[in-house]
């Protein structure tokens, strides 16, 4: 049974924990650097990316997690978590940082502000159609050839990746934890 952490500083923590528990995963809520010990992977939840970034720094987790990611630790970021894993943040604050683990450029609120939130079916490679919940979602505007695109979405302005992976790092623009479909989480936990 894999042991997966969920960053529990802000955002959709409870929803990710619940979905992972349904998959019979040993789940740990990560609030301190030592909570990262003996994990097989970590989920960075959706929430507010600048707030989560601030709390990662003030909790002491930022540096420890960066070292682990660079050493091959598996991590999946959803929505704000995707922003935190990206190489470049478009439309962010001047002091906003990210781990740079995915060679992508994301635009914060790329599909619109809160009022423009939407749901759309998403065809995931090797899985089929899953429900996609997009809430102030980041839009992946650039991605390198090293990044495997697992799902695309056309929301009126052309195709953009919404689920990507590079080696041990996964990024998801939507909120799979806000649905009853656990297949995106299953993909991640099966890779551990």
Give the model confidence (pLDDT) of 112-140 as tens digits.
888 889 999 999 999 999 999 999 999 99
| Tens of pLDDT, residues 8-63 | 999 999 999 999 999 999 999 999 999 999 999 999 999 999 999 999 999 999 99
**Of 155, 160, 175, 185, which is the active-site residue?**
175
Cβ distance 74 to 39 under 8 Å? no
User: What number does CATH give the domain 3-190?
Assistant: 3.40.50.880
Q: Is 155 a catalytic residue?
A: no
Radius of gyration over every alpha carbon of the chain, rounded to an integer in angstroms: 15
Please, are residues 82 and 49 in contact by the beta-carbon 8 Å criterion?
no
Candidates 97, 177, 93; CA nearest to 131 is 177
Q: What DSSP state is assigned to residue 31?
A: -
Q: Which of 15, 16, 79, 155 is catalytic?
A: 79
Q: Which residue has the tokens 């030592």?
A: 34
Among 122, 143, 139, residue whose Cα is nearest residue 131: 122
119 counts as catalytic: no
Chain-wide mean pLDDT for the chain? 96
pLDDT-based confidence at 91, cuts 50/70/90?
confident
In this prediction the pTM is: 0.96
Tell me the pLDDT band of 95, cut-offs 50, 70 and 90.
confident
177 included as an active-site residue: yes
For 185, the token pair is 């989480």
Catalytic residue among 16, 172, 177, 185: 177
């Amino acid at each position: 049974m894999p042991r997966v952490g969920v960053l529990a500083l802000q955002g959709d923590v409870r929803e990710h924990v619940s979905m992972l528990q349904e998959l019979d995963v040993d789940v740990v809520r990560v609030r301190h650097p030592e909570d990262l010990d003996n994990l097989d992977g970590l989920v960075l939840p959706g929430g507010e990316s600048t707030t989560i970034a601030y709390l990662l720094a003030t909790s002491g987790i930022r540096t420890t997690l960066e070292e682990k990611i660079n050493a091959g630790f598996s991590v999946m970021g959803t929505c704000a978590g995707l922003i935190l894993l990206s190489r470049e943040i478009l439309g962010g604050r001047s002091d906003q940082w990210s781990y740079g683990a995915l060679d992508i450029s994301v635009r914060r609120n790329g599909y619109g502000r809160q009022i423009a939130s939407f749901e759309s079916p998403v065809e995931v490679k090797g899985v089929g159609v899953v429900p996609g919940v997009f809430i102030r979602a980041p839009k992946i505007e650039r991605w390198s050839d090293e990044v495997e695109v697992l799902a695309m979405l056309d929301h009126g302005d052309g195709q953009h990746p919404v689920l990507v992976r590079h080696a041990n790092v996964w990024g998801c623009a939507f909120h799979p934890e806000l649905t009853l479909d656990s297949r995106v989480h299953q993909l991640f936990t099966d890779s551990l």
